[in-house]
Chain A
Amino acid sequence: MRTLEQTTQEVLDLASKHFNVPAGSLAPEDDFFKKLGIDSLQTLEMLSRLENHFGIELPDYEVQGVSDFRTLASRIQSRL
């Protein structure tokens, strides 16, 4: 079972890979809309990648209003 820290790190790694930003340039408290310069649709694409990676289903409502990696990781963690 992953810890929340591990989950958060995997979320950051996957986001940096998917959006082509240098590894280590993203922090858990970062606002992913701003930091990655992405819109709501690109966020949905990122969620699909995360679902595949973690092998979970994350309903859209679970991520409603979420804009930072840490909260996103905690929502994923609760479904692992």
Chain B
Amino acid sequence: MLDLSKYQSIGAALKDALGEFANEVCLIEADREREKERLTYREFKARAHPLAKALQDAGFAAGDRASIIMTNQSKWLISAYAIFYAGGVLVPLDYKLTPDEQWQLLKHSGAIVLVTEYPIWRQLSAVEGRAAATNVTTVLVTEAPKNAELAGAHRWEEFQDGGEPVFIPRTRKDVACIVYSSGTGGRPKGCMMTHENYLEQCVALTSIYSFSPGMRYLSILPTNHAIDFMVGFFGPFICGAAVVHLRTLRPEYVREAFSKYKITYVSLVPLVLKNLQKGLQARFDELSPGKRRIFNALVSINKALTKSRPRLGLSRRLLKQVHEPFGGELRTIIVGGAFTEPQTLQFFYDLGIPVANGYGLTEAGTAITVNDLKPFRADTVGKPLPGMEVRIVNANTDGIGEVSVRSKTIMSGYLNEPELTAETIVDGWLMTGDLGRFDSAGHLQLFGRKKNMIVSEEGKNIYPEDIEAVFDSLAVKEFCVFAANYIWPQRSMVGEQLLLALHLEPGQTYTVELRREISARNNKLLNYKRIHGVALFDQDFPRTASLKIKRNVLAEQLAKLDRATAFLPL
């Protein structure tokens, strides 16, 4: 691993890594059973430099912003490196957003270059006039069919110039990436992450979960996500490890990839981890009574022998039939993006597959705490990573209060949002809005949220104000969307739901037709953004002088209703 304390920027560290590990494999890309790409660090450089040169020749300069909207693949990382090499700021956007949302964030970010893939560009360019409203002047499109209409875009594969690009140095305090943690419908939250944020986070994470040449990371979480960017790009690259991309995430191909590519690490969201658990449990349930008894005995032996620490070699031998489908090299499953239920973590640990559970926010530079597995604890999100100061603010008598964090990994602020930044970072401490406490062993336990938002099991942050537009001009007096747990606090981080609070017109009743109308509009939202129920409120919503709903006051008023009877499922 490179000594990151010597580096000022992501680009400088990656540049040296490409030389240091020139002959090691850095990328493997598979499409179903076909391997599309296998690149060494030397070959990676040979692909990235002509792109960086072409960007520079097109006028792309230090501090300019370039966005990537792509599914996980080798060209994502090649493009990102070229952008950093040219001194640019990367704006990674979620490919799962709608074209409208993507244009909105492109405009907000001020990106002048967009790198995307043909199917996404086809949808983006179908929205007329949107490009003109942004600063985007250069669009690069990958894998466009021969005679495709590119609507002014360049083919990524042909956008390359000869000669060596000039490496543009950046300092630790310069912004490296603008990462959107939410805000597609309301107030975009573009986290300005500095080079220092990434360098420090990488040092902290790799001190616990290390990479080295020959190790392989399976990249499944979207690379625009803070976790995959760190452990599916920057982390493995500065250690000379390899990243495996799959162009389809069908469960059967993901399963196959573990053994085919001898995967060392993978990051998953809780939803996928639970699905894996379900699949394994179904297999165990099919065992004959005799085999089942033997299997249970082996699991018990494994549990006893791994009580104080994981013993991978031993677990792999004891429970061979469980470990073989995972390729036999898997060290740890990293789970993130949302809260994971302790029983799921315990299930895997008992089988000898450690799950690195942690807690983090994009604003904090990925992870704040991680379970160090010494010993494994399913009931907490682990201890603070090296370099992280974590404290509990305004604790109640149970010691539960708001988690706040101070470290070199905290973002410099939200783009164009000084007020929101000042509310979020107070005297250098990031206020997370999550409720927690430390136990006697120094492990952090989480107990719910203080803020009005939910996180889906797929790791998506959903802010109620972002989805209200779909209910605009609904035939009621007024409405407002809330996270149900914000109104009626629960000591839980799972099973979170969104609620539509309705104030009907005088004499109006909640009819089947109104319910249908709400459902129809709700269905226009992506599935993870949908509301789960309705609550009726018979008073005028409290409003500010400028007629904005006072959400916190309304939430207090709604809290007086009994959740069990007030929450009407859709």
Q: Which residues on A are within 8 Å of B, measured CB to CB? A: 31, 33-34, 39-41, 44-45, 47-48, 57, 59-62, 64-65, 67
Contacts and interface: CB of A to CB of B under 8 A. Distances in A.
B251 interface: yes
B251 A41 contact: yes
Interface of B: 32, 71, 95-96, 98, 117, 119-120, 247-252, 271-272, 275, 457-458, 523, 526-527
B252 A48 contact: yes
Contacts, number: 47
Contact of A41 (B96, B271, B523): B271
Given A44-B251, A60-B249, 8 more contacts: A34-B527, A45-B250, A48-B250, A48-B252, A60-B71, A61-B95, A64-B95, A65-B526
Nearest to A30: B523
B249 A67 contact: no
A67 B89 CA distance: 35
B251 A45 contact: yes
Given A33-B527, A39-B271, A61 B71 contact: yes
A40 B527 contact: yes
B248 A59 contact: yes
Contacts of B247: 59-60
A40 B458 CA distance: 9
A61 B249 contact: no
Contacts of B252: 48
Interface residues of chain B: helix, strand, loop or mixed (majority) = loop
B515 to A, nearest CB: 14
Contact of A67 (B120, B251, B527): B527
B119 A59 contact: yes
B259 to A, nearest CB: 18
Nearest to A60: B248
Given A34-B523, A41-B272, A44-B249, A57 B117 contact: no
B454 to A, nearest CB: 16
A61 B527 contact: no
7 contacts: A39-B458, A39-B527, A48-B251, A59-B119, A59-B248, A64-B119, A67-B527
B120 A61 contact: yes
Contacts of A47: 250
B254 to A, nearest CB: 9
A65 B523 CA distance: 11
A39 to B, nearest CB: 6
A12 to B, nearest CB: 18
Nearest 8 pairs of A and B residues by beta carbon: A61-B119, A33-B527, A41-B275, A44-B250, A31-B523, A48-B250, A60-B248, A45-B251
A67 B251 CA distance: 19
A34 to B, nearest CB: 7
A64 B97 CA distance: 9
A24 to B, nearest CB: 21
Contacts of B248: 59-60
A46 B527 CA distance: 16
Instruction: Give the interface centre of B32, B457, B458, B523 by most chain A CB atoms within 10 Å.
Output: B523
Contact of A62 (B95, B119, B249, B271): B119
A64 B96 contact: yes
Nearest to B278: A41
B251 A61 contact: no
Contacts of B119: 59, 61-62, 64
Contacts of B32: 57
Contacts of B120: 61
Contacts of B95: 61, 64
Contacts of B250: 44-45, 47-48, 60
A67 B117 contact: no
A77 to B, nearest CB: 17
Contacts of A45: 250-251
Contacts of B457: 39
B98 A40 contact: no
Contact of B271 (A40, A48, A67): A40
Contacts of B117: 61
B325 to A, nearest CB: 17
A62 B250 CA distance: 13
Nearest to A32: B527
A33 B95 CA distance: 20
Contacts of A39: 271, 457-458, 527
Nearest to A48: B250
Contacts of A33: 527
